[in-house]
Every structure is written in C-alpha cells, then in structure tokens.
Structure 1
C-alpha cells in the first residue's frame, strides 16, 4: 500500500493524546464519608468495573476515529505492478511559424516552454525534439536555456513523421512504461488519424490554442508577364480576418526593394503586382505582417 500524502502519517503521534488522558485520569474525585456503606459495596464494585470497560471502549473509539481520519487524508492506494517499471518520456515540441500566434502569456511556443519548465520534474531524464532540433537523455536543467531561446522554423513535421521519429528515442525494453507527449497547435495539415499509433507507447496530445485564429496568407507568387525590360511578379493573398488592406513587402536578400498595399475584395482575396527589371538576378523574399504572426 502506498500513500499520496505520506507526510500526514506523522499525525499518528496525535493518538498519544487520548492514551495519555486515559492513563493519567485528569479528573479528581472527592471522597465523601458515609455512616454505613456496607450494603452498597457490591453495587460500587460493579459500577467501577462497568466504568472501566466504558473508559477502554471510549479510548478505543477515539483512537479508531483519529486513525481513520489520518488514513483518509493521507489517501492510501495500491500501486499497479507497472509502477515499479522504468519510465521513458519523449516530448515533441512544435516550433513552426504558427506557434508565433499570440496568447495571454506571449506566443504559443513561449507558453508551451513555460508550462514544460513548471510541470516537468527537474531530475527526471527525458528526450525532446522539435521540427529541427533533438535533445536526447537530458534533464530539464540541461536544456532550460535552449528552450527559452528556441527559434521558430518554417519546417513542420507531419503527424506520421513525428511518430516515427519519436519511436527511435524509446528503448526496446518491453517492460518499461513509455510516454510520448505532443505539444502543438495541431493544424489540419498534420493529418492526425486514429489509426496512427505506436503500439504500447502511451501518447498524450497537448493542444495549444491562440486567442485570435484569424490568418492572412500568401497563396501564390508567379511571373504574370515578361517584357523586354521588365518582369511582372503577381502575388495572390487570402485572409480570414475582416481586413481592408495589408502591407506586402518584396526583398532582395535582406534589402527592401518594393512595398505596396494589398486591398481585399468581398471574398477576402487580393492580388498585387511587382514590376522587376528583367536583366537583374534577384534573390526574392515576399513578406506580409499578419495579425500577431510575422
């Protein structure tokens, strides 16, 4: 038998109080002499014997009640056989761009990191991987700084890829208890299916939700027209928010070379065109500033 709060078992020392009260009778009786009590001697003897039995029963009842209360508050339970097995924990932490969405505690990724720092035991060994980083057989203190400064990435593992990658971190010990914890916003493109399982590995999904689910995206970019001196680059955008316009920037590496405003129609779609010189090589990057999501 195990106890959820074993420190409360120290309260059993309180049982000494009723025992001491019983052993050292605190009540003092005043003797009153009578002229002749010979006829009452038998009754007195029986009364004392009955009183002694009642006192022992009262002591037993008090000890029993106090013991029951102490055991109830310490919450005893019987552990399963698997409780003695070794435990292995693997954590997948999503650090894709969508994890930049805002919550009341910062971004989704920052919120997830804080919850891991607060919830994971400091001395437990586990493995953790993201979309682009891997940490094996470490403790929380080993990667605390790395977690706090974890960068975002454009790459995102699919759900099946996450399961296959996580499987490599577990040992082949069939008796060990294996836990896989997935922390992500679980976008639809991860294609989660109930049939995707890892056998005896217990999988827990921690889904994070942003305060604002509106999103503006760059649907496509393509060359619309080619002239002798210029090239027209057409960019299509879509939004789920009630936006009228949004700035769209074009970079050559990290240098801003053009900027315009995309105006959305009633279908929440927009198209902008950038005119570029045809005789110049451009390492282009198109960027928008979404609501709380670079």
Structure 2
C-alpha cells in the first residue's frame, strides 16, 4: 500500500494524546468511612477489572479513529499495474466530439450532453495542481492553452455542436502537441466513434501517453443526404436552358422511396423531382432549368428527410457571363473562318492578333486561343502558351503546312505536342470520328451510319509516342492523327494535321467544323468550383484579381467578415481563409463595394453516415499499442479513471472506519456499565 500524500502521516503523532490521557487519568477519590469493608472489597475488585477493560476498549477506539482519519488525508492506495508516478504531476487532454452526429439522442439525452458530463467526471479524478486541455472539432487556438480544473469545467459548458469534423488520428496528433515536460500524459477521447471518424487506417500514438476512449452508445439512424451536384455545361448564358445533375446518398439500412428534390435559384423554384434510393446506395437525377439573368446565381438543392436534417440542403453558385473571350493569333496567310465563326455570335468576344505583334501579358484573360496558320511560330510564344495551358487554358493549333516543318516541329515539341515527321501531299479522307467523346455529345440527334467526313489534300504526319496522353477526335486511315486533344496540366491543347486553307482540306467548310469549335470553346471556359466544403477547403480559387495600393478583399456574410490572404500564382488568385469559415451558406467576395464572386460552402458529408465502429474494430486500429476503454454506463467515470491512474484508492474506506470507531467509543461510554447488576453492599 502506498500513500498519495505521505507527509500527512506525521499527524500520527497525535495518537499520543489519547494514550497520555489514558495513562495520566488522575482522579481524586473521596474517602468513605464504613464499619465493615468485607463486602466492599469484593465489589471493588469486580468493578476494577470491568473499568480497565472499558478504558482499554475506549483507548483502542480513539487510537484507531485517529489513525484512519490521518490515513484518509494521506490518501492510501493499492498501486496499479501502470506504475504512474503521481509526484510528477499530470497533463490531461480531453477531446469532446461536437460534430453533427452528437446531436443524436439516447436514454441519457443528447450524446453531446452526455459527453460533457463524462468530461467533468474525468476532471474530478485528478488533483488540484493538474493541468487540462479541452479539445473539440473546431481546433481553435484557445484549445492549445492549459487550464485548471475550474476553467476546464467552465469551458466544457460552452461547447456547442459544430459543422467541423475530424478523424481520430487528427485528434490524437493534436493532443500530442500539448504534452510537454516530464509530467504524466493522459489523453481522453469522448465520441460516438462514427466509422468516418475512426477511419480504417492504423492509428499511431505516443507510447508515453495514456490513451483512454469513452465510446458513447448510439443507434444507427436512417439518413438520406444531398451528396453532391455538378453542372453539365461549364458556360452559362442568359436565358439558355441548362442542366444540373444531383446525387443523393442513402446511408440507411432500408430503401428510401419517393424522396422529394427541389431546386431553387435566387429563391425561385426552378425544378422538382423525386427519387427511390436503395439502402447504402447513391442515385443521380438530372434537373433542367432556364430563365437566368446575368450575374452571380445562388442555387440550393433541398430534400426532406428526418431525423437528420443538416445534410438536406446543398448550396452552389455560378456566374452567367455576358460573353466569353476568344483570341485568334493569325499568320499572314491565315483564312478568315475563325473570325466568321466566333465573330457572328455575340456571346463570343473575339480578339485577333498578328503573330508579329502578340500581347503576351493579355493571354491569361482569354479562355481559348486559336493559332491560325502561323508562318514562323516563335519559341517565346511556345513558352507562354505552355504556362497558359498548365494554368487551365485551351489552345487549338491549325499549323501552316506550307511553312518550314522543322520550325513547326520545334515549336510543337516545346508545347509538349508530337514532332512533325513529314508533309504528306496524297489526298485522303478522314476515316473515323469519335462520336462518343464528350465534345460530340448532343451534336447529333441520332448517330449516323455512313457519315460524310472531311477531305484532306495536304497534311503533316507526326511522330507519335505512347507515353504522351492523346484523345483522337478525327483520324485518318491507319489511325493517323487528323484532329486530337492532348490533356496537359489543368488545360489542354488541340492539334490539327492541316490548316484551314481550302486547297489543303475542306475542314473549315465541313458541317462538323462549327459544332466542334463551339464545343471546344464552351468546355474551355474557366470556371471556379460551384461549392466548397466547410473545414476541408481552406484555399479558394479565383481569376486573377488586381488590387490597388490601399485596397483589400473581404469575404462577407451575415454577421461574418474575414480578410483572406492573397497569393498570385500563374495568372490566378488563391484566397487562403484557413479555418475561419465554419458555417454553410453563401459568402460574397468583395472589393470595396463591388462583389467579385459569390462562394457557396456546404457541411462535410462525412457526418451523414450514422454507422459506428465497434470496440473491437477500434482496438484493431491501435494494434498492440496500449489502450483503455472506459465504460460510459459506469456510475462513476471518475472512480474508474482514478483506479486506472492511481490504483485502488482507500481513503473513503479509511474515513468510514474512523467514523465507525468513533461511534463504537460513544457506545462504550454510554452503554458499557462497570457495576455488576444485583450486587449491593449491606
């Protein structure tokens, strides 16, 4: 048996007090004169032995009462197998899961309220001088400060449900960062341990940290969530009909039937639908809408599903532009088909530049660049276009087959395109069109059997490489390239085998040319994501934003305003908001009083799956590492924690024994008679 406060054992010296009282109990006897003492002698002898026994019993009770009272203050305990040295002091980190799943209710109330109670009980098991950390999913800066017991209990009362979600390994890593010095380290994790929280990857802990898990009991709940959505067209025109794909996920164990879906844009209902979703599966639906004006659009997809409602809405935003900027860089002998194609449509804002006078600084502002029969493409242009493509731009190359093939070959290889092998002057015809490619989607009402394809009289043969990613759109006989797409970085390049001169091919006058170029222009539009996820996306992308000397950007919403950090990278602006956005909804990016963008945020859907990891599954993640599970059904988590850390404490037993011996003393004094009944003097 050991003592937590052995210094109190010096108080055992107080045992001398009742002993001294017993030894020096000087009583004055009164003399009584009596004629015959024969009977009195017998009475005296009998009373004396009973008196001595009574005094000894009282003395023992007093000594034991004092001894056990001193022991109670010295906190005796039977050491545990953990061999924790309590003299070093303790640092205790307590994590309370405050994600959406903790709103679930069991017979103890909400899981979050139960977690708060358990956290307070843990605090009671530690000492006055121990220090505590409270950690939640918010990972706020104040959570890195050590608190005393009273401060921690107050902080626990302030914990509320948060949209942030973390994984178990993240929590353990965050707890480890607070542990410093030689103090004993204790980490407590209170959670319902959703499968998304626990994960399926091995968990690593510090062997010097005592990790304890408290798994709150909750039942699996049915839940259908608006999982994701995406627009079918990257460009948006005023009044045009567009389509949005929505995906619902049924996280429950039973089929969900007739789940209603509603699409609203700018608070106006645009479409409705309903879906049946099998248990544990996803289902998509396509919603069509029209009638949009210019500017930023705020859309919301919503369903009705109970009891969990936090994932029943998905916000998104996009911009309807008045035009799309296209650049045509022309050689001296370039044909006018590009100008005729894009100049006739008011949606496209076409700019033409001669190859001898190119404004390189303006290239990033165009969504599509067409190289129209350049005579002598420069290496500097190749480097600028390579950077432009890497940052999401699209380039279409119609080479001049009359130009020096060696110059063109060097230019193309600088762009990452295949080198030119030779010039072929044998007339032929395009033999294959890849109608299943997304560029040709919805171009033909029905797939033709014997489609008329372009004729070509003179073209380049290229040196193909299997290591280069390529998508053939139009092919010549023997699989030779006629028009192909090459994905590069965030953008793409399109390469034709000939120019638009009618003497070289009839491509420019062929019916496939117009829809092909239009679709390339549409898919080349640079569009930001239609929504971000709270707690996951802390970096926002935008087209290049130029600020004046005293200007700043602000991200604002109702009762919210933050100034993001800006970084200009390769013609675009990155906005760093860290973890300051904590609520789903719409946020306006403002420059002074003008709105540059509307950005939508949604809650993380990892909280939607209301299935939980079992204790055995969690233990498997930790492998052979030391781990303790504390039963939340226990009447006293504090006792379980104390027993684990300190061993079996005996101070309560000592206090009870002290009171028992005091009670025995009182009974001896009051009811133990020294005179034998019936014995009298005559």
Distance of aligned partners of 1:47 and 1:116 in 2 relative to their CA distance in 1, 3 Å threshold: closer
Distance of aligned partners of 1:24 and 1:2 in 2 relative to their CA distance in 1, 3 Å threshold: farther
Distance in structure 2 (CA, Å) of the matches to 1:272 and 1:29: 112
Query: CA offset at residue 177 of structure 1?
Result: 0.6
Distance of aligned partners of 1:107 and 1:56 in 2 relative to their CA distance in 1, 3 Å threshold: closer
**1:101-120 paired onto structure 2 within 5 Å:** 101-104=104-107, 106-116=109-119, 120=123
**1:251-262 paired onto structure 2 within 5 Å:** 251-252=264-265, 258=271, 260-262=273-275
Distance of aligned partners of 1:229 and 1:89 in 2 relative to their CA distance in 1, 3 Å threshold: same
Residues 1:180 and 2:187 are matched in the alignment = yes
Provide the secondary structure at the position in 2 that maps to 1:205. Answer: strand
Distance of aligned partners of 1:32 and 1:138 in 2 relative to their CA distance in 1, 3 Å threshold: same
Query: CA offset at residue 56 of structure 1?
Result: 5.3
Q: Of residues 234, 245, 266 in structure 2, which corresponds to 1:233?
A: 245
Provide the secondary structure at the position in 2 that maps to 1:209. Answer: coil
Counterpart of 2:199 in structure 1 is 191
Deviations 1:16-66 (A, max 9, x none): 6xx68x9488x99987632879xx98x999878867765654444444554
Counterpart of 2:209 in structure 1 is 201
Residues 1:165 and 2:174 are matched in the alignment = yes
Distance in structure 1 (CA, Å) of the matches to 2:67 and 2:91: 37
Which protein has the larger Cα radius of gyration, Structure 1 or Structure 2? 2
Flag structure 2 segments of 5+ consecutive residues without an equivalent.
234-239, 311-682
Distance in structure 2 (CA, Å) of the matches to 1:54 and 1:181: 55
Residues 1:130 and 2:136 are matched in the alignment = yes
Distance in structure 1 (CA, Å) of the matches to 2:32 and 2:254: 91
Counterpart of 2:35 in structure 1 is 33
Query: CA offset at residue 203 of structure 1?
Result: 1.1
Q: Is the 8 A contact 1:101 1:293 kept in 2?
A: no
Distance in structure 1 (CA, Å) of the matches to 2:284 and 2:270: 15
Distance in structure 2 (CA, Å) of the matches to 1:143 and 1:223: 45
- For normalisation by structure 1, the TM-score amounts to 0.65
Query: CA offset at residue 214 of structure 1?
Result: 1.3
Residues 1:86 and 2:86 are matched in the alignment = no
Distance in structure 1 (CA, Å) of the matches to 2:170 and 2:209: 16
Q: Is the 8 A contact 2:226 2:302 kept in 1?
A: no
Q: Is the 8 A contact 1:263 1:270 kept in 2?
A: no
Deviations 1:137-167 (A, max 9, x none): 24354784785363411x4222222222222
Q: Is the 8 A contact 2:188 2:214 kept in 1?
A: yes
Provide the secondary structure at the position in 2 that maps to 1:120. Answer: helix
Q: Is the 8 A contact 1:262 1:270 kept in 2?
A: no
Distance of aligned partners of 1:194 and 1:225 in 2 relative to their CA distance in 1, 3 Å threshold: closer
Distance of aligned partners of 1:132 and 1:33 in 2 relative to their CA distance in 1, 3 Å threshold: same
Q: Is the 8 A contact 2:262 2:269 kept in 1?
A: yes
Query: CA offset at residue 184 of structure 1?
Result: 1.6
Q: Is the 8 A contact 1:220 1:237 kept in 2?
A: yes
Flag structure 1 segments of 5+ consecutive residues without an equivalent.
none
Distance in structure 2 (CA, Å) of the matches to 1:49 and 1:151: 75
**1:41-52 paired onto structure 2 within 5 Å:** none
Counterpart of 1:291 in structure 2 is 307
Query: CA offset at residue 85 of structure 1?
Result: 0.9
Distance in structure 1 (CA, Å) of the matches to 2:26 and 2:268: 92
Distance in structure 1 (CA, Å) of the matches to 2:61 and 2:261: 79
Distance of aligned partners of 1:166 and 1:62 in 2 relative to their CA distance in 1, 3 Å threshold: closer
Distance in structure 1 (CA, Å) of the matches to 2:267 and 2:87: 56
Distance in structure 2 (CA, Å) of the matches to 1:143 and 1:52: 56
Provide the secondary structure at the position in 2 that maps to 1:218. Answer: strand
Provide the secondary structure at the position in 2 that maps to 1:111. Answer: helix
Larger RCO, structure (CA 8 Å, separation 6 or more): 2
Distance in structure 2 (CA, Å) of the matches to 1:253 and 1:29: 112
Q: Of residues 277, 284, 287 in structure 1, which corresponds to 2:289?
A: 277
Distance in structure 2 (CA, Å) of the matches to 1:242 and 1:269: 9
Deviations 1:192-232 (A, max 9, x none): 6776221101111122233x421313375456988x83425
Query: CA offset at residue 109 of structure 1?
Result: 2.6
